[in-house]
Amino acid sequence: MNDSIQSPSQSVTPSDDVVLKLEDVEFRRNRRVIIADVNLTIRAGERWVLFGPNGIGKSTAVGMLATRTFPSCGRVFILGHQLGKYDVFKLRTRIGLASADLGRQFPEFEDPLDAVVTGLSAVTGRWRDTYTEEEYARARGLLRDFRVSYLEGKEMWRLSEGERTRVLIARALMGDPELLIMDEPTTGLDLGGREQVMRTLSRIGEERSDRAVVLVTHRLEEIPAGFDHIAIMGRKPIPVEDATEEGLDSSGNPGAGTIVYTGPLEEGLTDERLSDLFGMPIEVQHAHGRWSAFAV
């Protein structure tokens, strides 16, 4: 991959190794264009970072990747099926999602063990569904792997942010998904909690499997080891004739978010690219396997 974007006229039905494909995608809300001209292809076994400033449309894009949101224009293919033309509930059992928004959907008194095992059916809150002893054993194994087995029997609302994050990642892995999406998994964590989660994310990034993984973040410090592809989101420029002095459109909104770069991580995270993205001189550093950036 490189900086060039494929023309929609060249698009074809994704091949067997394509897990995710967005073609010329646009999403509008209340007549405002949130994201536009978004093109992205992710193949089996790839580890991707979706990076960009706050408010750029990353959460909107994640909603589509996780089958929670549908595009206003363009096409989204997930696991060989076009979004909007296939039963999303069947797709969701093949997708692992860990996000703060999903975490808020659980009943307050849900047992973390049940929060993990229900990842098999992609529901939040165990009601009449039943699971086997083997499935519960797997859920307990995942909690143990992430060092939170002591949470069994507690209630979701009592968990710290770090504990909740690790429970949600365990849940996302419960069904051995073909596509794993982790949306800002370290948000709200202190240094110790962040580093514990980073170890977990690095294990996922470095594992050898055909699973495609997408990590969404706005901080370079939160890019784990093992991730080697990046999609950077920026803003589409507003035509000069339609722009205000503040750089907004005639309705007072910034330009729509779009993907401005896809490709290798190290080629994407350059001083020049991030300086353009954030509108200030930025110096990017890569040391001890971790990324960081500073305003110069």
Contact 20, 212 (CB under 8 A): yes
Query: Which residues are 41's β-sheet partners?
Result: 21
In degrees to the nearest 10, what's the CA dihedral of 11, 17, 21, 23?
Answer: 0
44-62, pLDDT tens digit by residue? Answer: 999 999 999 998 999 999 9
> What is the per-residue pLDDT for 245?
53
8 pLDDT more than 60: no
Give, in order, the Cα–Cα distances in Å from 95 to each of 9, 66, 121, 221. 29, 7, 10, 26
Give, in order, the Cα–Cα distances in Å from 82 to each of 26, 44, 77, 212, 227. 15, 17, 4, 17, 26
> What is the per-residue pLDDT for 256?
87
Non-local CB neighbours of 31 within 8 Å, separated by 6+ positions: none
Residue closest to 203 by CA, chosen among 165, 167, 231, 169: 169
250 pLDDT more than 70: no
Residue closest to 228 by CA, chosen among 291, 294, 293: 291
> What is the per-residue pLDDT for 120?
92
Residue closest to 102 by CA, chosen among 131, 80, 124: 124
Q: Pick 8-94+178-295's CATH classification: 3.20.20.70, 3.40.190.10, 3.40.1160.10, 3.40.50.300.
A: 3.40.50.300
> What is the per-residue pLDDT for 14?
59
User: Average pLDDT, stretch 75-96?
Assistant: 93
Domain with CATH 3.40.50.300 in the chain: 8-94+178-295
Q: For CA atoms 253, 261, 176, 153, give the dihedral sign.
A: negative
**242 pLDDT tier (thresholds 50, 70, 90):** low
SS3 state of residue 115: helix
Residue type, 80: G
DSSP class of 177:
-
Non-local CB neighbours of 132 within 8 Å, separated by 6+ positions: none
108 pLDDT more than 60: yes
**208 pLDDT tier (thresholds 50, 70, 90):** confident
In this structure, the strands spanning 81-82 and 257-264 are unpaired
Give percent helix, percent strand, percent coil of the chain, each to the nearest 5: 30, 25, 40
165-188, pLDDT tens digit by residue? Answer: 889 999 999 999 999 999 998 877
Contact 27, 35 (CB under 8 A): yes
User: Average pLDDT, stretch 8-32?
Assistant: 78
Query: Which residues are 181's β-sheet partners?
Result: 97, 214
Compute the C-alpha angle 78/188/71, nearest 5°. 25
> What is the per-residue pLDDT for 236?
82
Residues in the chain: 296
Lowest-pLDDT range of 147-161, 230-244, 254-268: 230-244
Structure tokens at 114: 């049940």
Query: Mean pLDDT across the chain, nearest whole number?
Result: 87
In this structure, the strands spanning 229-235 and 257-264 are antiparallel
